[in-house]
Structure 1
Amino acid sequence: MAATSCGSKPASPPLRFWATSYEGDYSPHLMPAFTAATGIEVDVQSVPSTAAHEKMLTAYAGGVLPDVFMLPSGWIGEFATIGALAPVPSPDLVTDIVPAALALAQVEGKNWAVPWAAAPQVQFYRRDLLQDAGYASMPTSWNAWREMGRTIKRRRPDEFVFLTLLNWPDTLFSMLYQTGASMLRDHNTRGNFRSAAAEAAFAFYLSLFTENLAPRALSTEVQDPFAAFAQGRYAVWPSWPTLLLDLHRRRAEIPADRWAVARLAGPNGPGPAAMIASNVAVSAATARPKAAWALVRHLTSATSELRFQQLIGNLPARASAWASPQLQAPVLRPFAEQMREPAMAPKIIEWERIQIEVQLVAERVVRGLLTIPQALATIDDRIDQILAKRRALVEAGRIV
């Protein structure tokens, strides 16, 4: 008994951290420095992106959410509303955040998570294929961009030009943002797609398919999009910063001098574009809030974000990180420029469901099953159904 009473205190169990996609796979690389500095072990679980939302909600309902977890910006409002999140305890955790990333993460001006990485949509393109078609740089307006596509198509009639898959709706949403379409009305309680701006975006999007510049295909029908890009099956691929990792890994298939990055074309030049961001949040039920927030501070430090940029291509959410020579490479300039002109989606819990409905209806337009006016009316009707409860709460003065 004496020996037991004099023994060392049992070590605390590891903090639990969940993250998705590349962030989940590579987060263990960030943990040794944290453990060395604090003595706190971290158990990292990589959660598949397709199952993350359901898994986290189920974990909350069962009282087993991890201490710290990664959240896309679009989920923060939902998890804050159900009481799953602890509010950010100190303003210094977010004072150095890129404004666009911070705005995406806030809910009614309150900080419920700390931005970890920002990912504006840009376009990757085959520099060599554009040069063969007589283009020294990427056109910046819609009409010129599409005319470039036609030129490339005439030279390569058996190939497509744009990789815009039907279950990847981000390019369509970027087009909607670029036209200035206001997709909701009446205090975000009704759809507003029956507008000239939305119709213009849909018409341009549809033209890419009707002119056979983009395939009428889902991602499941393209076995390896990267290989197709490397082989020249497509010349332009609207995508995200993490594609940089694939381009680096598979540079034997496509050397760096054959591709480049540019901001997306807009109706009259580049404008707002879709932007996603990953954030780190702390469970409201964690028994170790001090340790949990210490982990958040470590993960979202400029040092950790620069390390992640090297590992997986993620762009830092910390403004100070952008002063690093590491981020001065010309290939990153379009990302930095786009981050200064982000598109802001409506901050409502139902927005993710709305995006899915828009995607499904847009696919029917591309496949010739609906006209654009029919599609816009259908989208508004579906949105109105989705927002029925919100509308009732707004009309009753329960929410604003």
Structure 2
Amino acid sequence: MHHAARTASIAVTVASALTLTACGGSGGDDVGADAKQTLTVWAMGAEGEKLVDVAKEYEKTHSNITIKVTPVGWDVAHQKLVAASAAGKLPDVMQMGSSWLGEFADMGALEPVDTKVFQKGDFFPAAWEQGTYDGKTYGVPWYVDTRVLYYRTDLAKKAGIKGAPATMADLQKAAEAYQDKAGTKWGLNIQPSNQDAVQSFYPFLYSAGGAVLDDNGKPVVNSPEAVKALENYAGLFKKGLSDKTFRPGYDVTKDFNSGAVPMFFSGPWTIGLIDDNFPDLKGKWAVAPVPADKASVSWAGGANLAVSADSSHKAAAQEFIQYLTDTKNQADWYQRTKDLPANTAAWKSGELATDANLKVFREQAETAKVLPAEPKGTEITAKVDDAIGAVTQGKSSAKAALDKAQSEIEGLVK
């Protein structure tokens, strides 16, 4: 899960000024992979906890390497990385949230990836793109996250709904039928406002053929396609099909279990949550691709692994990242975390190859889109969050809110 903490841009500016001197890194004094050394690694949230175990495994076969993993909370991670970068104290290896890479690459804080060692063709396109900034690659894909539709199949039968909604029009009809015929409180859950509402909106935006930034990084958030997508999204609140009150820390799976919410969009980790917490729901729910508008396109999140430009352990860092992203260890990481492998070869065997739910994620990940890396990525998406909230709360039309976001974002792109 990716929750980017929003830090004041002042901190970022100061950090950029301080790290300019560190540009290009300290290539000369790398100690070499075979020397006795300690690698420092920062990883976020649950990944940080689980990586501690993997690092111990790695040390068994690499006796010269000690790996010191520091788990960092997602809520403070962005701030900690900015502060460490300013002080020239970034770890050797760090997990980069999907919208942060551009900011740190732009500061000169990250070492470019050796694309002879790590190859684009081995990973999902969106995962590779997340690690790319200004035509150079700075992050190796670690895991990928995409959003699909979860829905209650038993209540769908009750509501007279045949199969999963195939189009956005079907999605609205299904939401109405769940309420009218199956007696659910809501038709579906989507986020009405506040931080990261844009992640909930992306499947609607991308499927309509819209985007926040085009492939060249130009803001296009007020395009006719985007306006139409936001009207459609806000319409679900206007019609009372989705709850327009934002609840911090809301856990949709409880309402999914009780039947109050029969449909929602989420990532792969939710499968495990439902299986573990609500075993009685087995056989009463399924996942399906994002309903199509012009196409079925979801958002890709996830994380990359990057090396500090200042590290004097670059060779060893690269070997550790090779280990974490190879086919065998990507499949092992899925078993430990339920994070979807970014390396496509990891999907060729075991549960990843046979599980029907995972197949939906696999196919969605092929076409999923990502926001092009920008130094002010977190601030750019914050403007879209504001626009979404203004429209779902009835304070603005979609066109006016997105025109405002467009002009604000024009001032933020590089």
Counterparts of 2:147 and 2:215 in 1: how far apart (Å)? 28
Corresponding residue pairs, total: 374
**1:291–1:196 Cα change, 3 Å:** same
Bigger Rg over Cα: 1
1:381 equivalent in structure 2:
407
Per-residue CA deviation, residues 168-223 of structure 1 (Å, 9 max, x unaligned), is 3223122111111244479645x43333211110111011101111111224173x
2:232 equivalent in structure 1:
204
1:35 equivalent in structure 2:
59
1:365 equivalent in structure 2:
391
What is the identity, as a one-letter code, of the residue corresponding to 2:372?
P
User: SS of 1:91's equivalent?
Assistant: coil
**1:90–1:256 Cα change, 3 Å:** same
User: SS of 1:333's equivalent?
Assistant: helix
1:239 equivalent in structure 2:
266
**1:89–1:267 Cα change, 3 Å:** closer
Cα pair 1:30 1:304 within 8 Å, conserved? no
2:201 equivalent in structure 1:
172
Q: Which moved more, 1:180-189 or 1:11-20?
A: 180-189
Q: Which moved more, 1:133-142 or 1:100-109?
A: 100-109
User: SS of 1:345's equivalent?
Assistant: coil
Cα pair 1:243 1:313 within 8 Å, conserved? no
Cα pair 2:189 2:263 within 8 Å, conserved? yes
Counterparts of 1:146 and 1:186 in 2: how far apart (Å)? 30
Q: CA deviation at 1:349?
A: 2.1
Counterparts of 1:194 and 1:165 in 2: how far apart (Å)? 20
Q: CA deviation at 1:17?
A: 1.1
What is the identity, as a one-letter code, of the residue corresponding to 1:31?
A
User: SS of 2:369's equivalent?
Assistant: coil
Instruction: Specify which of 98, 102, 118 is matched with residue 124 of structure 2.
Output: 98
**1:150–1:384 Cα change, 3 Å:** same
Cα pair 2:102 2:376 within 8 Å, conserved? no
1:303 equivalent in structure 2:
328
2:252 is aligned with 1:217:
no
Q: CA deviation at 1:155?
A: 2.8
**1:250–1:386 Cα change, 3 Å:** same
The TM-score, its normalising length taken from structure 2, stands at 0.84
Instruction: Specify which of 258, 272, 275 is matched with residue 300 of structure 2.
Output: 275
Per-residue CA deviation, residues 289-308 of structure 1 (Å, 9 max, x unaligned), is 22211211121122222122
Q: Which moved more, 1:119-128 or 1:206-215?
A: 119-128
Q: CA deviation at 1:79?
A: 1.2
Q: CA deviation at 1:13?
A: 5.8
Cα pair 1:245 1:311 within 8 Å, conserved? no
Q: CA deviation at 1:156?
A: 4.8
Counterparts of 2:221 and 2:307 in 1: how far apart (Å)? 36
2:78 is aligned with 1:47:
no
Counterparts of 1:112 and 1:225 in 2: how far apart (Å)? 35
Counterparts of 1:25 and 1:136 in 2: how far apart (Å)? 42
Counterparts of 1:200 and 1:310 in 2: how far apart (Å)? 40
Counterparts of 2:187 and 2:129 in 1: how far apart (Å)? 34
Counterparts of 1:186 and 1:36 in 2: how far apart (Å)? 44
User: SS of 1:294's equivalent?
Assistant: helix
What is the identity, as a one-letter code, of the residue corresponding to 2:173?
E
The TM-score, its normalising length taken from structure 1, stands at 0.87
